[in-house]
Amino acid sequence: MKIRVLATILLTITGVAGFAQGAVPDVKDPAAQHDWPRFRGPNGDGVSTATGIPTTWSKDQNVLWKTDLPKTLIHENVTRKQLEDLPNAYDPWSSPIIVGDKVFLASAGIKVDEHKLFCFNLADGKQLWEKQIPPGPIVSLQMSNLLDNVDWVKTKDGPPRKSTHTAIGYSIATPCSDGERVFVTFSTYVLTALDFQGNILWQRSLAKTTDKPPSSGHYAKETGVNLGICLGASPIVYKDTVIQVCESSIRAFDCKTGDLKYEIPLTFGEQWATPILVTLKDKTVMINHSSRTLAGYDPENGKKIFWAGNIWNYGASPVYDDGYVFGIFGGAVCTMFALPVDANSANDILANRFKKTADFSTKMPAFTEGSPVVFDHIVYQYVNNYNQGGLPAKIQPDKGMLVGLKRTAGSPEIVSQTPLPGVSNWASLVATADGYIYVATGGKSYVIKAGPKPEIVGVNDLNDYNIGPSPAVTDGKLIIRGSTKLWCIGKP
């Protein structure tokens, strides 16, 4: 059995006091810590200032409300009949966000004209509105072949091959908000801005005719554009700019008008990780872990500040703590690096420099797409061995582990390994200010008291398992997207 592995990159920031504890919030009101306005919360690191969220719940315990969602299928081996039986939705991936008294959630159907954004009342879960979003120019070969009862994908530059990743669908990204508008991206490669009443303000296509990587057969367009398995990165907001990582570039648009402000070229590949914004000395830095590079950019103008090459990534977003940036990637080996960078000028760290500066490593036979979280200078990451022949719907129910990593004397080491069997390894972790780590999905979930010796304080199950969504956090509440319902966990 082929095993993917966990790797953590430890990036040392020299000549700088270190990253501040807390990044630059992505909302108009930085004090609005009540909000969870983007993937992984205000700072993109999964950390919330909330306290008092229940550590135990079930379908009948500590549920403030639950709201029906369009039915979702979560397994890769989907049949045409199953798709035809669905009311309208298929995608299970996009996570909820919270802005003020509203919860926003994206969903997609099996066809390109079934993109939707939903808005719910945070207080009681009542649906306020839903808006159908016009699709972008990209068609999923997997989905169209499945609808046409075709098993093999026709590739442009090679022989047909077995259709894979049919469980991906059209919606991957989590929406984001600047406090006045909400921005949502779908995997037909379209970015849309709406007001809080559901009116579309502007749309921008994210596909270009120059986007032609080696043919993967995943996506195609009439113009001949071939793109990756999904548009997995979620948009983020910095001041008056909404930023979206695409296959070949990072594109920044004016929040109000949708005008393109700048574009950062990337090595073409499947870019699935969402960037984070951190305060590095006296400047804000956007750190992006792409398919081959971890780099820091000025979010005002897209200027590159530093980069480290030869770093592969699959989907996890990076985190930072006390002068270090942590990133997760999979490959043939699992290695944790410590590398110096210059925060004030471009600094290229090539593969050979990696080999010269790396003086420690660790290996773990595991796989993850979920992002880590940091609490009290310990980095927590959930991993799960699984059969690589399938998607995480096939995770081994008796496997799974929460790994704790701590930096000691300049080098990181594993300080804890807590068995947590049977949880999706795609959902990202969240942490609350009172020291709890939530490995939470619509199915089996764990709550762990953080520390050098983590303690499991809750094992919960809503019996509404979903693969990918990460929870949203607000005052005393946890919002979880299951496969059939949106759940609000809290103390009555």
| Coil, helix or strand at residue 305 | strand
* Three-state DSSP class for residue 84: helix
Q: What is the pLDDT of residue 332?
A: 38
State phi, psi for 161 to the nearest 5 degrees: -140, 165
CA dihedral sign, ordered 374, 375, 379, 382:
negative
Q: Mean pLDDT across the stretch 416-434?
A: 88
Number of Cβ atoms within 10 Å of the Cβ of 135: 21
**Average pLDDT of the residues of the chain:** 76
Angle 181-266-300 from CA coordinates, rounded to 5°: 45
C-alpha distance across the termini of the chain, in Å: 47
Task: Choose the most confident range, by mean pLDDT, from 133-137, 231-235, 250-254, 463-467.
Answer: 250-254
Amino acid at 121: N
Place of tokens 């022989």: 159
Which of 187-191, 259-263, 361-365, 404-408 has the least mean pLDDT?
361-365
What per-residue confidence (pLDDT) applies to 348?
47
Residue 16 has pLDDT above 50, yes or no: no
Q: Tens digit of pLDDT for each residue in 41-55?
A: 998 999 999 999 999
* Residue that wins the pLDDT comparison between 137 and 459: 459
Which pLDDT value is given to residue 166?
Answer: 56
Mean pLDDT of the region 414-428:
84
> Listing from the earlier edge strand, what are the strands of the sheet with 241-245?
236-238, 241-245, 249-254, 260-265
The pLDDT of residue 184: 97
Q: Where is pLDDT greater, at 417 or 61?
A: 61
Cα 94 to Cα 330: distance, rounded to the nearest angstrom: 22
* Residue 311 in this model has a pLDDT that exceeds 70: no
Per-residue confidence band for 320, with pLDDT thresholds at 50, 70 and 90: confident
When pLDDT is cut at 50, 70 and 90, the band that residue 136 belongs to is confident
Measure the CA–CA gap between 74 and 469, rounded to whole angstroms: 11
- pLDDT of the residue at 103: 98
**308 φ, ψ (degrees, to nearest 5):** -130, 120
Q: Once rounded to an integer, what is the mean pLDDT over residues 132-157?
A: 69
Residue identified by tokens 């990253």 is 19
**What is the reported pLDDT for 281?**
76
Q: Which position has the higher pLDDT, 322 or 59?
A: 59
pLDDT at 388 over 50: no
Residue 4 has pLDDT above 80, yes or no: no
Question: Among 216-225, 278-287, 318-327, which stretch is predicted with the lowest mean pLDDT?
Answer: 216-225
Residue of higher predicted confidence among 241 and 279: 241
Whether the pLDDT of residue 145 is over 70: the answer is no
> What pLDDT shows up at residue 342?
44
CA 246 → CA 119, 232, 319, 404, distances in Å? 26, 9, 20, 31
**Are the CB atoms for 367 and 5 separated by under 8 Å?**
yes
Q: Greater confidence, 71 or 164?
A: 71
For residue 209, the SS3 value is: coil
- State both tokens at 447: 């709550």
Q: How confident is the model at residue 108 (pLDDT cuts 50, 70, 90)?
A: confident
Q: Which whole number is the average pLDDT over 14-37?
A: 47
Looking at 15-19, 87-91, 231-235, 340-344, which range is the least confident one?
15-19
Q: What percent of the chain has pLDDT over 90?
A: 39
Sorting pLDDT into bands at 50, 70 and 90, what band is 437?
Answer: very high
Helix (H, G, I), strand (E, B) or coil at 163: coil
Residues 288/275, Cβ–Cβ less than 8 Å: yes
Pick the CATH number of 8-490 from 3.50.50.60, 2.40.50.140, 2.130.10.10, 1.20.1420.20: 2.130.10.10
The two most distant CA atoms of the chain are separated, in Å, by 60
Mean pLDDT in residue range 358-383: 71
Residue 285 has pLDDT above 60, yes or no: yes
User: Strand, coil or helix: what is 203?
Assistant: strand
Q: Is 398 exposed, middle or buried (0-12, 13-18, 19+ CB in 10 A)?
A: exposed
Percent of the chain with pLDDT over 70: 64
Contact in structure between 252 and 261 (CB atoms under 8 Å): yes
Question: pLDDT at residue 427 above 90?
Answer: no
Of 151-160, 169-178, 277-286, 405-414, least confident by mean pLDDT is 151-160
With cut-offs at 50, 70 and 90, classify the pLDDT of residue 84: low
Sequential DSSP letters for 383-440: E--B-TTS-GGGB-TT--EEEEEEEETTEEEEEEEEE-TT--SSSPPEE-TTSEEEE-
d(CA 437, CA 70): 29
- Please state, in angstroms and rounded to a whole number, the distance separating the CA atoms of residues 381 and 402: 6
Beta-sheet strands, E only, within 290-364: 293-297, 304-309, 319-321, 324-328, 337-342, 348-349
Q: Please, what's the b/e burial string for 143-152 (b: 16 or more CB within 10 A of its CB; e: otherwise)? A: bbbbeeeeee
Segment 479-484 mean pLDDT? 92
Question: Coil, strand, or helix at residue 143?
Answer: helix
What is residue 310's predicted lDDT score, i.e. its pLDDT? 63
